[in-house]
Amino acid sequence: QEYTLIKMKVVEPLPKSLSSLAGHLVFLVAATLRPETMYGQTNCWLHPDINYIAFPVKTGEVFISTTRAALNMAYQDFTSEYGKTQVLLHLKGEELMGVALKAPLTSYDVIYTLPMLTIKEDKGTGVVTSVPSDAPDDYAALRDVQKKKALRDKFGITNEMVLPYKPVPIIDIPGIGNLSAVTACDQFKVSSQNDKSQLEKAKEMTYLKGFYEGVLLVGPHSGKKVQEAKKLIQGDMVASGEAVLYQEPERSVTTRSG
């Protein structure tokens, strides 16, 4: 499985939990299969209970991901010693909530890390970028954080980090429109991020049609089909240093069930 690793830069001055990394460029790295949707990022998701590490990569930058993903990266030549990661910090997701980030392509100047409780530890980097216009999981979870003040308070999330952020129309899907995840979540009455069965239906509705019929509405590749724009936008971000390619083994040893 080939992902695009999106580098979301932690805005300086670094937050308290990362203060020992002062002087480094620090990135939360999110694995995505949809690089063409990065125009619509509104926030970054972390699981409050997942353990993350900060580790240096060859370029001198510091990445934050799960240990499992860091090890995968070490075997893909990201680190200075092949197969080895040097742990600079252990961090629980909850220590990283409300962190300000600069993310590629999005129209929002700054976006924030917010809690998502359905993140899987054994997929991607455990860091997930949020595109509520096109990903039903993201729309449902963003709505949860926007509706529930108690959830924000629990993790020290202020109103400014959440309330101004709205799904951005970036892809038109004929017959569904330019906010496909919003339309699908409404149509199937998705009640929250935990509403698995309805979210499955919403995703089914957007998935195939989005890939084969979706047309990009923004940026230099505006007007192109998603299928075509995907590789071009991935290439642009890799060339500019805003993203890197990242492979995930089909089945990792930590998830093998026998």
Question: Does residue 206 bind ligand ZZB (CB under 6 A)?
Answer: yes
Q: Which residues contact 229 (CB under 8 A, 6 or more apart)?
A: 36, 216, 221
Question: Does residue 178 bind ligand ZZB (CB under 6 A)?
Answer: no
Closer residue to ligand ZZB, CB minimum distance, 33 or 87: 33
Binding to ligand ZZB, residues 8-47 (CB under 6 A): 31-34, 37
Closer residue to ligand ZZB, CB minimum distance, 40 or 56: 40
Provide φ and ψ at 211, rounded to 5°: -70, -45
Closer residue to ligand ZZB, CB minimum distance, 93 or 126: 126
d(CA 13, CA 59): 21
Closer residue to ligand ZZB, CB minimum distance, 5 or 10: 5
The residue whose two tokens read 């995703």 is 203
Full DSSP string of 132-155: TTT-HHHHHHHHHHHH-HHHHHHT
Closer residue to ligand ZZB, CB minimum distance, 21 or 91: 91
Binding mask 117-156 for ligand ZZB (x = CB under 6 A): --xx--xx-x-xx-x--xx---------------------
CB of 206 to ligand ZZB, least distance (A): 5
List of E strands, the chain: 2-10, 26-32, 43-46, 51-56, 62-65, 89-92, 100-102, 111-115, 127-130, 171-172, 215-216, 243-247
Question: Does residue 248 bind ligand ZZB (CB under 6 A)?
Answer: no
d(CA 191, CA 185): 8
CB of 23 to ligand ZZB, least distance (A): 29
Which stretches of the chain bind ligand ZZB, using CB under 6 A?
Answer: 31-34, 37, 119-120, 123-124, 126, 128-129, 131, 134-135, 203, 206-207
